[in-house]
Structures are given as C-alpha cells and as structure tokens.
C-alpha cells in the first residue's frame, strides 16, 4: 500500500487543519462540507471514502476538538455504502455498543418483522451526539431509528452521549445481518483515526514542553530518562498510525480489513496509556484541567472506552488468527 496522501486528500487535510486551528465549531465545519465528505455526490456530499474520513478525523483529534465529526462521518459512510438514496440524505449517529458486551460481539438487539415493517427491542449505550436518527445494529441487520427513547450519559470529554432504549421501536431497515461487521469496522476505524490525531497532538505539546522546561539548570529534554519516555510515546503513535492507515486503505480498496482494524483498535488502548506518560512528563501541570493536555487525555480516554478496552481487542485478534 501507499501511505502517501493524494492531492485531494492533502487538500482535505489542509482545509480541516485550517478550520480547526481557528476553533471552528459544528456549524462552520458543516458549511465547509467537512461533515459530509462521505455522503454520495448525488445526495449532496463529496462521495469520498474511508481514507478521507480518516484524514478529517485525525485532524479533529490533533486539536482535541469537541465536534460531532466521528458519528457524522462514520454514519454517512455506512449509509453511503448500504443505504437507499433517501437514507443517504439523512443524518444519523452510530449506535453499536450494548451493555456488558464487547463491540465485536454479535448484537443481541432483536429485530422483528410485523405487518410489513420492522420493530427493534434492546438497549444501546455510548451513543455519541444523538441525532434525530440513529444507525442501529441488530440481529437481523442495520436499521435507522428515528427519535428513540434516550437518557444522557456522562463522558470524560463533556461531549453529549446517550443510552437509547428500544421497546418494539419502529425502524427502517438499511442492510441485512452481513453488514453489521462492516459497519462496526467503519466505526472502529473512525475511532482509531481520531485517536491517532489525539496522540499526535499530545506528543507535539509534550515535546515542546520538555524542550523548553528547565530543571536543575538543564532543559528536560537533556535527561536520558525523559528522552526514553517521549520516545515510547512516539513509537506508540507510529504503531497506531501504521495500523490505522493500513485499515483505512484496505477498507477503501474493498479488501478484507478485519485484522487491520482489530490491530488499530488495540493500539487505541496503547495511545491512552501513552497519554499517562505525557502527563507524567508535564509534572503537576499535566493535571491542570485548564491546560491543553487535559483535553487530549480526556479524548483519549473517551475513544478507548468507545472500543471497550484492550482485552476485548486482544480476544478479537486471537479469534481472527
């Protein structure tokens, strides 16, 4: 595979970086078309794919921006792949996680056919930025649910999330059961891409800090123990990058990507662990909630929780190999 971005992807990265550097919010990102890059052209978007989704989300993560880019892009890409024209024009968040179950487990949410329509019964947790519509996984496929019953959840970033309760809730079928693993892979890739950016942003911030902070008459970067720790953070970032871009490229090319996605998800957990090192290298400043590193730490924690932690990813990798 070629890890270099083409001209379109480079322009997209620059646009996202420029807007996010100005603290652009959701409205500005929508006006610029960044949240609809994966919507098909005939439905009003740019018709781009997994690699372009990853390009935007990595820039979102690099600035720890609290915007709904992850559910917007992953949801629109899933609808672009499996939905009808009418469905592709809708905005929907992603609802895959279930209480007490790993993300990769088959969903226990039940879909029943009643009088020519579908109803869903089950519960979904950690649903980010609940939209009027949610893309929900169930035993019989992937469905769109409009205005489900919901209760708010706490997130480490302060971003909105919800638990939705489905009690024979009317639903519109998007795709059959064969699409459930593919939608999960798209969502996992989206999380890994944003986590890659979060770690890159934290690494840049920490590197600058140890380059200028003096202790005992020397800058921190001159101490061997410090350089070894920051090197570990760099290695964690590169490992996540390689796995994430490999998964994005394979999904974009229509190639099997289950193992690549699982490895990327595993390294999301390593990225969260690396943020502890960044905090440690900052000393007491690393615990200051008004200092930018706190945002990166909170985002890394949140993204790791969305995937269910490293043990679940190791179990999945073990099953795959």
| Dihedral over Cα of 253, 254, 260, 262: its sign | positive
Task: Report the predicted TM-score, pTM, of the whole model to 2 decimal places.
Answer: 0.94
Is 199:237 a contact under the CB 8 Å cutoff?
Answer: yes
The CA distance from 161 to 106, in Å, is 22
Residue among 192, 204, 179 nearest 79 (CA): 179
The CA distance from 171 to 119, in Å, is 5
Radius of gyration of the chain (CA): 20
**CB neighbours of residue 119 within 10 Å:** 18
The CA distance from 303 to 98, in Å, is 16
Find tokens 């990813």 and name the residue.
Answer: 313
The CA distance from 214 to 211, in Å, is 8
Query: How many Cα atoms occupy the beta-carbon half-sphere of 313 within 13 Å?
Result: 24
Domains of the chain by start residue, with CATH: 7-86 (1.10.540.10), 92-176 (2.40.110.10), 180-320 (1.20.140.10)
Helix, strand, coil percent content, the chain, rounded in steps of 5: 55, 20, 25
Is 157:302 a contact under the CB 8 Å cutoff?
Answer: yes
For residue 203, give both structure tokens: 């690494």
Query: What b/e readout covers 225-257, taking b as 16+ CB neighbours within 10 angstroms?
Result: ebeebbeebeebbebbbbbbbbbbbbbbeeeeb
What pLDDT tens digit does each residue of the chain (321 aa) get?
A: 667 889 999 999 999 999 999 888 889 999 999 999 999 999 989 999 999 999 999 999 999 999 999 999 999 999 999 999 999 999 899 999 999 888 888 999 999 998 889 999 999 999 999 888 999 999 999 999 998 999 999 999 999 999 999 999 999 999 999 999 999 999 999 999 999 999 999 999 999 999 888 888 888 888 899 899 999 999 999 999 999 999 999 999 999 999 999 999 999 998 999 999 999 999 888 888 889 999 999 999 999 989 987 777 787 788 877
For residue 99, give both structure tokens: 């209480």
The CA distance from 119 to 172, in Å, is 8
């Amino acid at each position: 595979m070629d890890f270099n971005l083409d001209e379109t992807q480079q322009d997209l990265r620059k646009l996202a970086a420029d807007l996010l550097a100005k603290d652009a919010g959701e409205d500005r990102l929508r006006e610029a078309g960044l949240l609809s890059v994966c919507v098909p052209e005939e439905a009003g978007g740019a018709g781009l794919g997994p690699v372009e989704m990853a390009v935007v989300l990595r820039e979102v993560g690099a600035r720890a921006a609290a915007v709904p880019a992850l559910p917007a892009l992953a949801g629109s890409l899933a609808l672009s792949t499996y939905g009808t024209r009418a469905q592709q024009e809708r905005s929907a968040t992603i609802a895959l996680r279930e209480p007490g179950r790993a993300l990769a487990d088959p969903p226990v949410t039940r879909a029943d056919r009643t009088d020519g329509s579908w109803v869903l019964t089950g519960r979904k947790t950690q649903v980010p930025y609940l939209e009027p519509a949610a893309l929900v996984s169930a035993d019989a496929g992937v469905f769109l649910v409009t205005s489900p019953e919901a209760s708010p959840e706490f997130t480490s970033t302060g971003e909105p999330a919800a638990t939705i309760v489905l009690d024979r809730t009317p639903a519109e079928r998007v795709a059959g059961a064969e699409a459930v693993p593919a939608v999960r892979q798209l969502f996992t890739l989206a999380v890994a891409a944003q986590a890659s950016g979060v770690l890159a942003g934290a690494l840049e911030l920490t590197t600058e800090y140890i380059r200028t902070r003096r202790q005992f008459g020397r800058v921190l970067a001159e101490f061997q123990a410090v350089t070894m720790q920051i090197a570990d953070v760099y290695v964690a970032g590169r490992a996540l990058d390689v796995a994430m871009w490999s998964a994005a490229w394979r999904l974009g090319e229509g190639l099997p990507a289950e193992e690549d996605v699982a490895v990327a998800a595993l390294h999301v957990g390593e990225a969260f662990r690396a943020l502890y090192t960044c905090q440690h290298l900052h000393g007491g400043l690393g615990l200051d909630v008004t200092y930018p590193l706190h945002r990166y730490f909170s985002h890394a924690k949140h993204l790791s929780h969305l995937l269910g932690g490293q043990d679940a990813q190791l179990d999945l990798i073990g099953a795959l190999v």
